[in-house]
Structure 1
């Protein structure tokens, strides 16, 4: 069931009963990337899957990651219902969740950060600049192949044509200006000095073959957070909950 939160600015699907669990999607995907795991999680949690600001039916929240994080903090307070809160972010959703936890220390009781980090290498920063420039000059269709490669390894793409067709269609619905603004933010981001502020338990996950946010970023993130553990998801890339849903659920089961 879809509902509106944060004064009607953010659209989210809500299912299940129990402690609140928020799922924040990645930049090159949408909330449907959680469709394979949401029903299982809803057996024990009240699962809230928002469309992040600027995506789907949710209003944009300015150009900065801080503004997006503040908007999502409103959503969490609005939708949590007074229960303990876990926030799970994948990719860009992980950066939003981490920034939110830094800016609003009381917002969640624990975090699961899948395939993100605290700062990109110079090569990673340039990839975002290039992607934003190409999207602006030529449109999203021109960067769809690049976007899909950042999400899924070539052999996985070849073996799952129907899923890839769906993911391409979802990507092409992205607001180009929202994508460009997010790329610009990620190209400059460095949250490492602020990680000591995140005192809550954090589970850091990363796909073994993630090219968008390579495993060294997750190793660094887990090492710099005060209370974090790291798990490597064998054979996975940037969207492990879509690629290997059972492995993903098993990886987060004990933490939840």
Structure 2
């Protein structure tokens, strides 16, 4: 069931009963990237999967990542209704969740940051600038192959043609202006000086073969957070919950203990 939060500005799917668990999607994907794990999660949690500002039916914001984080903080407070919340962010959604936790202490009781970091290397920053420029000059279709390589290893793409067709179609629905603004925000981002403000427990996850946000970024992120644990997800790239949902659920099982959560995804 879809609901609107934050004064009608954030659209989110909601399913299940229990403590609220928010799932923030990546830049190169959409909220459907969590479809394989939501059924298991919803047996123990009220799972809320928003479309980030500017995606789907959620209204864009006028500023950068801080404004996105503030909008999502409003949505989390609204949707949680005073209950203690857990926030899980993947990729861009992880950066949003981290910025939100820095700017809004107490917004969540636990944080799961999957395949993100606190800052990109210069080659990583340049990759975002290049994608933004290419999309402006030639459109999103011109960078779809690049986007898919950042999500999945070539061998995985070859073995899952139907999934890749679906992911390509989802990426092409992204608002080009929202995409470019996010690229520019990530290219200039450096949250390292503010990591000590995140006082809650954090689980940092990263796919072993992630090329978009390589494992060294997660190592640096975990080292800079006061209460963080790092786990490497073997055999996965940037969206482990989509590539290997059972392994992903197992990786967060000890952080969010629940026999139902450990069940195989459907």
Same-fold call, TM cutoff 0.5: yes
Q: Following the alignment from structure 1 to structure 2, what is the Cα–Cα distance between the partners of residues 105 and 215?
A: 26
List 4+ stretches of structure 1 deviating above 2 A.
none
Which residue in the other structure is 1:172 paired with? 172
The answer for the alignment partner of 1:33 in structure 2 is 33
- SS in structure 2 at match of 1:165: helix
User: 1:110, 1:201 within 8 Å by CA — same for their partners in 2?
Assistant: yes
Structure 1: give runs of 5+ residues left out of the alignment: none
Partner of 1:73: 73
| 2-structure distance, mates of 1:63, 1:241 | 29
- How many residue pairs match? The answer is 256
CA distance in 2 between counterparts of 1:19 and 1:62 reads: 32
Determine the structure 1 residue equivalent to 2:181: 181
Q: CA–CA distance in 1 between the matches of 2:230 and 2:61?
A: 31
SS in 2 for 1:127: helix
* Distance apart, 1:62 and its partner CA: 1.8
Deviation at residue 83 of structure 1 after TM alignment: 1.5
SS of residue in 1 equivalent to 2:241? helix
Within 2, Cα distance between the matches of 1:11 and 1:199? 28
Alignment match, 2:2: 2
Shift of the alpha carbon at 1:61? 1.2
Q: Deviations over 1:151-175 (max 9, x none)?
A: 0000000000000000000000000
Give the distance between the partners of 2:194 and 2:102, measured in 1 at CA: 7
- Alignment partner, residue 23 of structure 1: 23
**How many Å separate the matches in 2 of 1:126 and 1:71?**
27
For 1:127 and 1:13, locate their aligned partners in 2 and report how far apart those are by CA, in whole Å: 32
- Tell me what 2:57 maps to: 57
Cα distance in structure 1, aligned partners of 2:8 and 2:70: 15
Q: 1:247 — aligned with what? A: 247
Report the counterpart of residue 110 of structure 1 in structure 2. Answer: 110
TM-score normalised per structure 1: 0.99
What displacement does 1:55 show? 0.2
- Counterparts of 1:43 and 1:82, CA distance in 2: 21
Q: Distance in 2 between matches of 1:143 and 1:175?
A: 14
**DSSP-derived class of the 1:59 partner:** coil
Cα shift readout 1:40-79 (whole Å, capped 9, x = no counterpart):
0000000000000000000001230000000000000000
Q: Which secondary structure does the structure 2 equivalent of 1:210 belong to?
A: coil
Distance 2:62 2:157 in 1: 33
Cα distance, 1:183 vs structure 2: 0.2
Cα distance in 1 for partners of 2:171, 2:101 equals 27
1:81: how far off?
2.2
Report what 1:120 is aligned to: 120
- Asked if structure 2 preserves the Cα contact closer than 8 Å seen for 1:63 and 1:178, the reply is no
1:44 alignment counterpart: 44
Could you tell me how far apart the structure 1 residues matched to 2:63 and 2:179 are?
10
Q: Distance in 1 between matches of 2:236 and 2:106?
A: 32
